[in-house]
């Protein structure tokens, strides 16, 4: 088997593009609506969100490949830029509502950017360090370093909501209860963010 860098760049680019744009197949309704996948979980505001695969580890991103070597990072970054220009960096979640419960499955998660920002905040008034005696006493305590780590960016998030075949006869009721589905989606996404912080 040849080494990756022995291949022509065009083939390597196809490999990179397939890694970036890979998606899980859509779960079949029969698989998604089994008792194993749906259980009586309760999300925020008492909405049952069922057993959501969102809580399990989502698909891996390209971060480990980007960190392998400088050459691989450069080539992969160029491919990511091309995919971004074509609009191919789409994170997709599949949602199957069934009654009051919802099954969520990550289909793709190509690239996630997290940033951590540090800011300094004044603890005491600005005039105190200007006084000679108090300034020397409080020189270390007039600034407090506060680390805020809260920004996670997903290029493009697409949530596909597919009513299950069991619920087809209740499709009209689902349309009327769109707010409940929206609340379940928000609860699942907030739990994804909580999962990422753990």
| Residue 102, phi then psi, degrees to nearest 5 | -135, 135
Q: pTM of the predicted model, to two decimals?
A: 0.60
Q: Is the pLDDT of residue 14 over 90?
A: yes
The position carrying tokens 């108090």 is: 134
Give the tens place of pLDDT for each residue, 38-74.
434 444 444 444 444 444 555 556 667 777 788 888 9
The position carrying tokens 């690239």 is: 111
> Under DSSP, is residue 143 helix (H, G, I), strand (E, B) or coil?
strand
Domain ranges of the chain: 4-111+158-197, 112-154
Partners of 184 in the beta sheet?
Answer: none
Mean local confidence (pLDDT), 154-163: 81
Q: Could you give the residue ranges of the DSSP H alpha helices within 24-177?
A: 29-32, 63-66, 70-86, 132-137, 171-176
CA atoms within 13 A on the CB side of 102: 30
């Amino acid at each position: 088997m040849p080494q990756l860098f022995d291949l022509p760049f065009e083939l390597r680019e196809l490999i990179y593009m397939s890694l970036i744009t890979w998606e899980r197949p859509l779960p079949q309704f029969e698989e998604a609506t089994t008792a194993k996948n749906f259980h009586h979980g309760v999300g925020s505001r008492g909405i049952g969100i069922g057993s959501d695969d969102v809580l399990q580890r989502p698909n891996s991103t390209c971060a480990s490949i980007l960190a392998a070597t400088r050459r691989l990072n450069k080539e992969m970054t160029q491919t990511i830029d091309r995919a971004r220009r074509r609009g191919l960096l789409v994170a997709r979640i599949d949602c199957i509502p069934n009654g009051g419960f919802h099954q969520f499955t990550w289909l793709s998660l190509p690239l996630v950017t997290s940033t951590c920002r540090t800011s300094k905040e004044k603890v005491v008034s600005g005039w105190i360090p200007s006084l000679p005696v108090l300034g020397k006493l409080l020189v270390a305590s007039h600034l407090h370093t506060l680390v805020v780590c809260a920004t996670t960016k997903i290029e493009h998030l697409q949530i596909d909501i597919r009513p299950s075949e069991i619920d087809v006869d209740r499709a009209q009721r689902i349309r009327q209860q769109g707010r409940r589905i929206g609340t379940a989606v928000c609860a699942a996404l907030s739990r994804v963010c909580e999962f990422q912080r753990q």
